Amino acid sequence: MSDPIRHLQSLLPPHNTRHESATAYAPANIALCKYWGKRDSRLKLPVTGSLSVSLGAHGTRMTLRRAEADTLVLNGEAVDPGTATFRRLFAFLDLIRDPAHRLTINSHNTIPIAAGLASSASAFACAVKALEALYGWDLPPQLRSILARLGSGSASRSVFDGFVEWHAGSAPDGMDSFAEPVAPVWPEFRIGILTVSEAPKPVGSTEAMERTVRTAPLYTAWPAQVAHDLPRIRQAVLDRDFETLGQTAEHNALAMHATMIASWPPVIYWLPETTDHLHAVHRLRAEGLPVYATLDAGPNLKLLYTAEAGNDLKAAFPQLIQIEHTPAP
Q: Under the rule (CB under 8 A), what is the footprint of its own copies?
A: 216-222, 224-225, 227-228, 247, 250-251, 254-255, 257-259, 261-262, 264-266, 268, 270-276, 278-279, 282
Minimum CB distance to its own copies, residue 233 (Å): 14
- Rounded CA-CA distance 141/151 in Å is 16
Comparing CB distances to its own copies, the nearer of 29 and 48 is 48
Minimum CB distance to its own copies, residue 197 (Å): 12
Minimum CB distance to its own copies, residue 247 (Å): 7
Minimum CB distance to its own copies, residue 223 (Å): 9
Minimum CB distance to its own copies, residue 12 (Å): 40
Comparing CB distances to its own copies, the nearer of 44 and 251 is 251
Comparing CB distances to its own copies, the nearer of 65 and 228 is 228
- Rounded CA-CA distance 248/276 in Å is 21
Q: Tell which residue, 329, 319, 324, has the closest CA to residue 115.
A: 319
Comparing CB distances to its own copies, the nearer of 195 and 274 is 274
Task: Provide the angle, in degrees to the nearest 10, between the axes of the packed helices 141-151 and 84-96.
Answer: 150
- Rounded CA-CA distance 20/18 in Å is 7
Minimum CB distance to its own copies, residue 322 (Å): 24
- Rounded CA-CA distance 116/198 in Å is 7
Comparing CB distances to its own copies, the nearer of 146 and 281 is 281
Comparing CB distances to its own copies, the nearer of 43 and 203 is 203
Comparing CB distances to its own copies, the nearer of 75 and 220 is 220
Comparing CB distances to its own copies, the nearer of 67 and 262 is 262
Minimum CB distance to its own copies, residue 280 (Å): 11
Minimum CB distance to its own copies, residue 80 (Å): 30
